[in-house]
Amino acid sequence: MAGFLKDFRDFAVKGNVVDMAIGIIIGAAFTSIVNSLVRDVFTPILGLVTGGLNFTDLFVTLRDGATAGPYATLADAQAAGAVTINFGLFLNATISFLLVALVCFMLIRNITKLQRMTQKEEAAAAPTTKECPYCLSSVPLKATRCSACTSQLEAAQPAS
């Protein structure tokens, strides 16, 4: 679990252009799903835990509207023309952002694991033989003479 949290922190803090692009694409694609998850699943659960508190209607009235408050809901306050700070909507947006970020992180983490596996397979499949340019026989990569025609071969170049 600690490795997961460390990876998520590194992703969230550092990131690169590809991570950001994927985040934007996934965020746009899952906006309605995440909004529904927050609105229809998490908000009612949090409301139940907090004694029926609806985050959407959490606001502070800075100035009353045409009809004086107090207002039961944010919709009532907005209908009256009151000036409000809507921190409940901000909490919902924050939860949505965290869910999108978590989904992106999990996607990129799994893609990175697949890339590492592919790189290991490619490294394991590196050639161990070369072709003799004179008789076209297969000879070991480090050989300096062909075992079939005894021709002098170029020495293998060290990998750089």
From residue 98, alpha-carbon distances to 103, 105, 133 in Å are: 9, 10, 60
Percentage with pLDDT > 70 across the chain: 84
From residue 31, alpha-carbon distances to 14, 39, 100, 147 in Å are: 23, 12, 8, 65
Give the Cα separation of 14 and 11 in Å (integer). 6
Q: For residue 116, give both structure tokens.
A: 């590492």
Give the Cα separation of 31 and 118 in Å (integer). 32
Total-model pTM: 0.48
**Side-chain-side CA neighbours of residue 37 (13 Å):** 14
**Residue-averaged pLDDT of the chain:** 80
Per residue in 31-82, pLDDT (tens digit) is 777 677 776 777 677 778 877 766 788 899 999 988 887 898 888 999 999 9
Q: What is the pLDDT of residue 60?
A: 92
Q: For residue 5, give both structure tokens.
A: 């949290």
Q: What is the pLDDT of residue 9?
A: 73
